[in-house]
Amino acid sequence: MNAPDNLFPFDSLIRDHADKLEAQVIAWRRHLHANPELGNREFETAKMVAAHLRKLGMEVQEKVAHTGVVGVLKGCKPGPCVALRADMDGLPVTEETDVPFKSQARAMWNGSEAGVMHACGHDTHVAILMGVAEILAGMREQLAGTVKFIFQPAEEMPPIGEEGGAKMMIAEGCMQNPTVDAIFGLHITSKQHANVIGYRSGPIMASADQFRIFIRGNQTHGAQPWSGVDPIVVGSQIVLGLQTIVSRKMNLTEEPSVVTVGSFNGGNRSNIIPDEVKMEGTIRAFDERHRTDIHAFVEKITTLIAESGGAKAHVHIAHGYPVTSNDESLTAWSVPVLKRVAGDDAVGVCPKTCGAEDFSYYQQAVPGFFFFIGCTPKDQDCKSAPSNHSPRFYVDERGLKVGVKALATLAADWLQAHAQTSA
């Protein structure tokens, strides 16, 4: 669908500039891909971003949440403030793709040396937003308000013992001076073909919490279990009991959820019943109320089953990222913009994903819209394509330009629409 340019005066300007910038955006992406950095260690990436934003005449703040960069572009007309966010960190993954710009980087991660790769596409997010910054900086005279460019570290979690990511960016003021009124973000995904945009109103990505359970029994000889308390049997009953939370306690007609025990450790000999068993698992939810309820059920079920078997249990739940939930009115406003950019047939509702994103913290502060852009070549089945976080994750770079056009158009149109509303 191509609407007349007189109805949407920014479209042709953004489209033409994105066409001219495509090769540069791809070059930026390849440089970043060949030189990935882990969370809170994105030093060279941050320098590259900050230099680019300064060259465009923006106010730039560095070292936000360790290595974050925030650029402020003030339009020549009065209006509100919109933010655009890109995450910068790579993953401790050794790359296995066969591309000329394959990462050879290695670094220390939580005490161990590991290969480093942009296995989730954050290199594309940075390159896309750098392109958007150049386009919108060239439209300064037409912009009615302010655009804030947030280049964020540590979306994939900071190293153990450190803080970081969106939560720390917000705490250090990235959403203030000027105050952000709405925020947009995107993510590359192998689940869609290149140039295809997926969105969803309301919950789109799950919360992610980790739990650890310690069960204390009473060690004894395996030939006489009645002489002690067997934490392995009690722990096994707890694993089964936890499966009833989703199947019997949660209203699945509202939102899905997941409780998974991924680690179960206890004992070291076949004829010794140990003193203790340790379990670890993950909790995923698409509703913050469900999330709270699941936490309470994990605690209650674990404690009561342990007591019934004569054991003692301690439950520790570490809160991870909240539910990534798109503001309904902002989503409704955004979809027609995306369809103008990519075409009606290339924009559609995507399934929810149980992966998590710390973009959710921005959405707790202001209305936010987060969407996906496909990166799988059109001649490949998305179901068989290596997923994000795979060492074989591959990006069809022909999809980058639609990301540039989408974010630039969303920002410019949103400022124009809301400047007129507030006038």
Q: Which of 37, 155, 321, 361 is catalytic?
A: 321
Chain-centre distance for alpha carbon 364: 14
Among residues 37, 156, 357, 397, the one annotated as catalytic is: 397
Q: Are 162 and 347 in contact (CB under 8 A)?
A: no
Q: End-to-end distance of the chain based on CA atoms, in angstroms?
A: 30
The rounded distance, in Å, linking the Cα atoms of 112 and 154 is 18
Instruction: Clarify whether 397 is annotated catalytic.
Output: yes
CB neighbours of residue 251 within 10 Å: 10
Its sign, for the CA torsion 375, 93, 96, 284, is negative
**What is the number of residues in the chain?**
423
Q: What does the radius of gyration of the chain's CA atoms come to, in whole angstroms?
A: 24
Block residue for tokens 């570290």: 153
| DSSP state letters, 265-328 | E--SSTTEE-SEEEEEEEEEESSHHHHHHHHHHHHHHHHHHHHHTT-EEEEEEE-----EEE-H
β-strands 182-193, 368-376: how paired? Answer: parallel
DSSP letters along 364-385, please?
A: HHS-EEEEEEEEE-TTS-TTTS
Active site residue 172: no
b/e 42-67 (16+ beta carbons within 10 angstroms → b): beebbebbbebbeebebebbbebbbb
Residue 348: partners with Cβ closer than 8 Å, 6 or more residues away: 196, 197, 198, 199
Q: Which residues contact 373 (CB under 8 A, 6 or more apart)?
A: 186, 187, 188, 189, 192, 195, 196, 197, 198, 399, 402, 403, 406
- Identify the H or E element spanning 148: strand 144-152
Catalytic residues, by residue number, are 321, 397
